[in-house]
Amino acid sequence: GAGVSQSPRYKVAKRGQDVALRCDPISGHVSLFWYQQALGQGPEFLTYFQNEAQLDKSGLPSDRFFAERPEGSVSTLKIQRTQQEDSAVYLCASSLDETEQFFGPGTRLTVL
């Protein structure tokens, strides 16, 4: 399968715990996006990478959220000291030419 993969698919965290969510984009895709999708809502932009450079992080809701893509391929979204309002599906998408984004299946995070 050559699609975008994300792991874990489901994560339950206790409030205050740190979590790390992984995204493996389609090989060769330069652009990588992270989105947060709350229940009943559409995906909301978090951050954007072009290769290893994080060009836009304006959507990150607080400084507890941090994303990296050190080698321009795999990306990790880290959330420190999780709060209940962080519960959502986190979607990763990659793109070759920025006209179409290919989404992964998402990681459903539940913070208790």
90 binds other proteins (CB under 8 A): no
How far apart are alpha carbons 112 and 109 in whole angstroms?
A: 10
Q: Cα-flanking dihedrals φ and ψ of residue 87, to 5°? A: -65, 120
How far apart are alpha carbons 99 and 45 in whole angstroms?
A: 16
Contact 102, 91 (CB under 8 A): no
Q: Which range binds other proteins by CB under 8 A, 14-22, 66-74, 77-85, 104-112?
A: 104-112
Distance in Å, CB of 102 to other proteins, minimum: 7
Distance in Å, CB of 106 to other proteins, minimum: 5
Q: Which is nearer to other proteins, 67 or 93 (CB)?
A: 93
- Judged by CB under 8 A, the residue of 67, 69, 82, 101 near other proteins is 101
41 binds other proteins (CB under 8 A): yes
Question: Which residue is listed with tokens 């986190």?
Answer: 90
Buried residues in 25-41 as b, exposed as e (16+ CB within 10 A): bbeebebbbbbbeeeee
- Judged by CB under 8 A, the residue of 19, 60, 93, 109 near other proteins is 93
Contact residues toward other proteins (CB under 8 A) are 4, 31, 33, 35, 40-45, 48, 50, 55-56, 58-59, 91, 93, 98-106
